[in-house]
Amino acid sequence: MHMPQLGLGTFRLQGPQAIDSVRNGLELGYRHIDTAQIYGNEEEVGSALAVSGVPRDEVFVTTKIWTANLKGEVLIPSLKESLRKLRLDRLDLTLVHWPSPGKEVPVRESMQALLAARDLGLTGAIGISNFPVALMREAVDAVGAANIATNQVELHPYLQNRSVAAAARALGIGITAYMPLAYGKVLDDAAVKAIAARIGATAAQVTLAWLMAKGYTVIPSSTRRANLESNLGSTGITLALEDIAAIDALDRGGRLVSPEFAPEWDAG
């Protein structure tokens, strides 16, 4: 199944809030839902999917394997547990959430286990998340670029991750941008707001349209139905080249997510 370019992220959504967000998103027309083992909300996402009435083959569902489950003998059982929680027979996409801290588990071991999971029919596609260029190339060496659907990374106007994006493009690997609104910081950016005012859009819509214009998949999240509906409107916006250039100029390496176990990030 083709991955819709605009999806619904569920990071930090818990309990009834997670159920409501996914249910509202599906009612509004979202057909791409992103979760992860570490989010602790796979059961809630599964509940929302189950009661939505949307046919399974119309929803693209992604989960991500946590670092504790990256060993070859652990990964597939953990994925089966995710499927149980999500009430699904198969994921559409499964990612390695973070490279193994301290390289405890080789990239090759995790990627080959993920490929085996795909061969077993547990997931339609596989990929990576938070992989800098060097580790992305290790993943390619392990399973081939054609078997890596995407690298999901933090990417927004203040952190444009150009090195990773360029390397992924050269390898034929897609980029999925998480935290695309930089925790809402871009909503108050003067340059983004000026573009939004001129074209009659919101700052969020402009930012998401900018990311999609670059060919990235985006997975914003929200607990508010109105925001979920508004974000969908970004798919109908075509930005002028000068507006894209103005947002390009906002890059400042403003990384917001870098836990102590993160890999060594690329400059630029």
How many CB atoms within 10 Å of residue 213?
Answer: 15
Query: Which residues in 67-84 are b (16+ Cβ under 10 Å) and which e?
Result: bebbebeebbebbeebbe
The whole-angstrom separation of Cα 36 and Cα 29 is 21
Q: Where are the alpha helices (DSSP H) in the chain?
A: 15-28, 42-52, 72-86, 107-119, 133-143, 162-171, 190-199, 203-213, 225-232, 241-248
> Does residue 183 have an active-site annotation?
no
The whole-angstrom separation of Cα 261 and Cα 139 is 18
Q: Is 32 annotated as a binding residue?
A: no
The widest CA-to-CA distance across the chain, in whole angstroms, is: 55
How many CB atoms within 10 Å of residue 224?
Answer: 11
| DSSP letters for 74-117 | HHHHHHHHHHHHHT-S-EEEEEE-SPPGGG-S-HHHHHHHHHHH
Which of 30, 39, 178, 216 is catalytic? The answer is 39
DSSP state of 201: -
Annotation: binding site for substrate: 97
Catalytic annotation, residues: 39
Annotation: binding site: 97
